[in-house]
Amino acid sequence: MLSIDSLHVTYGGAVQAVRGVSMEVPDGKVVAVLGSNGAGKTTLLRTISGTLRLHRGRVESGSVRFGETDLGSRDPAQTVRMGLVQVPEGRRIFGRLTVEENLRAGGMGSKDKAAKAKAQDRVYELFPVLKERSAQRGALLSGGEQQMLAIGRALMASPKLLLLDEPSLGLAPRIIGQIGEVIAEINRQGTSVLLVEQNATMALGVADLAYVLDVGEVSLSGNARELAQTDEVQRLYLGHDGDGDEAHMRTRAASGKRLSRWTA
């Protein structure tokens, strides 16, 4: 379980990005974090993944623990070895490398050849188009395919907890729907997921639990389906006051529909 307790984070010792945030990601669950730009969502992921210092951020107080381990002093490489892997906002693939080379880069932390081969088979099963384009440079892929590759590269490290930062950003609605199905499938295969998203419909449709960040603080939290029905979430994040669209979303999320392979 990932546990965050009373976390305060600043940039430059002055700008408060996260203020007293507490949350948990139970093993085997999908947890969504919603909020507008500047709410502190990306800062939260940077703190968990050990990349906060690279952005001149600092934890002023509070703690982040994964199981029994305090992540406060861990660097990004140590965090990955522990099983926490982040897919950054904007994908950040290696454009000059081929699809296969990108995937190999994601598995560099493991010396177990059998485990890496199994992880690659998993990625190609989730994203058949990546296998078809394994020799193609990453920069030549479409936006949706690049997002597939970013997620696939992270899965090569066989994470226990996958950290996703705005995976739907800049993608077409059809692809966003497929992202949700992929996240659900990854979770069904045994990987916990912390999903940071502005697309509340997709996020709440796949999540078990959800938190809403507002100017660095948790303003709402609870069961994702129940939060989707609240007036505040519907008004601010779902764009309506009725419950028709939400009923459809909840029905689809609860249906247990298996993944329709993402082909972009």
Mean predicted confidence (pLDDT) in 49-78? 93
Distance CA 46, CA 78 (A): 14
Q: Evaluate if residue 154 carries a pLDDT over 60.
A: yes
> What fold does the segment set 2-254 form as a domain?
Rossmann fold (3.40.50)
> Dihedral through CA 131, CA 258, CA 180, CA 206, nearest 10?
-150
| Higher pLDDT among residues 255 and 132, named by residue | 132
Interaxial angle between packed helices 113-126 and 143-155, expressed in degrees from 0 to 180 and rounded to the nearest 10:
150
Mean predicted confidence (pLDDT) in 14-37? 94
Q: Evaluate if residue 255 carries a pLDDT over 80.
A: no
Q: What is the pTM of this model?
A: 0.86
pLDDT (0 to 100) of residue 253: 42
Distance CA 99, CA 117 (A): 15
- How many beta carbons lie within 10 A of that of residue 151, not counting itself? 25
The DSSP bridge partners found for residue 32 are: 195, 210
pLDDT in tens, 208-244: 999 999 999 999 999 999 998 888 888 877 665 544 4
Q: Evaluate if residue 40 carries a pLDDT over 90.
A: yes
Q: Evaluate if residue 263 carries a pLDDT over 80.
A: no
* In the chain, domain spans: 2-254
| Higher pLDDT among residues 262 and 65, named by residue | 65
| Nearest by Cα to 34 from 205, 162, 155, 192 | 205
Q: Which of 82-91, 95-104, 119-128 has the lowest mean pLDDT?
A: 82-91
Using H for helix, E for strand and C for coil, what is the string for 30-98? EEEEECCCCCCHHHHHHHHHCCHHHHCEEEEEEEEEECCEECCCCCHHHHHHHCEEEECCCCCCCCCCE
Q: Evaluate if residue 70 carries a pLDDT over 50.
A: yes
Mean predicted confidence (pLDDT) in 180-198? 94
- DSSP secondary structure string, 176-231? HHHHHHHHHHHHHTT-EEEEEES-HHHHHHH-SEEEEEETTEEEEEEEHHHHHTSH
Question: How high is the mean pLDDT of the chain?
Answer: 87
Supply 26's token pair: 């139970």
Tell me the residue type at 91: R
Tell me the residue type at 264: A
